[in-house]
């Protein structure tokens, strides 16, 4: 268990938010997607991105870029977020269609923790 000190970095987090986050990240190897976490906590998508950025900055999680294609309900690929957008043309690893335009892909972010984290 490691402690993430929010202090002046995540001032919008209430005690209730922190306890929900602690519940979510109480076990190692947790994943979090911004949309789901935003709904769970009742906060904005951008605020969740801020939480994930702080987690990554402190070295507590790895952030992935999830790549969605219309051939699948779930993501077809994931790359480390720091590598940025996938290069075009991009071949969907699921249906093997070649994609020439980012409009054909949907992207999202996912955080993955390795150890349990407590927000204080």
By CB under 5 A, residue 17 contacts Zn ion: no
d(CA 37, CA 114): 18
Among 2, 95, 102, 120, binds Zn ion (CB under 5 A): 95
Cβ count within 10 A of residue 75: 18
Q: How far is the CB of 51 from Zn ion (least distance, A)?
A: 30
SS (H, E, C) 19-54: HHHHHHCCCCCCEECHHHHHHHHCCCHHHHHHHHHH
By CB under 5 A, residue 92 contacts Zn ion: yes
Number of residues that bind Zn ion (CB under 5 A): 5
By CB under 5 A, residue 69 contacts Zn ion: yes
- Site residues (vs Zn ion, CB under 5 A): 69, 71, 92, 94-95
């Amino acid at each position: 268990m490691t402690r993430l000190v929010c202090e002046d970095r995540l001032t919008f987090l209430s005690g209730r938010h922190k306890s929900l986050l602690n519940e979510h990240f109480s076990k190692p190897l947790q994943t979090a997607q911004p949309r789901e976490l935003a709904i769970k906590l009742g906060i904005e998508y951008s605020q969740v991105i801020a939480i994930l950025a702080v987690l990554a900055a402190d070295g507590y999680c790895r952030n992935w870029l999830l790549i969605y294609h219309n051939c699948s309900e779930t993501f077809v690929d994931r790359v480390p977020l720091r590598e940025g957008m996938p290069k075009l043309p991009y071949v969907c690893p699921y249906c093997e269609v070649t994609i020439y335009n980012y409009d054909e892909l949907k992207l999202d972010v996912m955080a993955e923790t390795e150890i349990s984290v407590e927000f204080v």
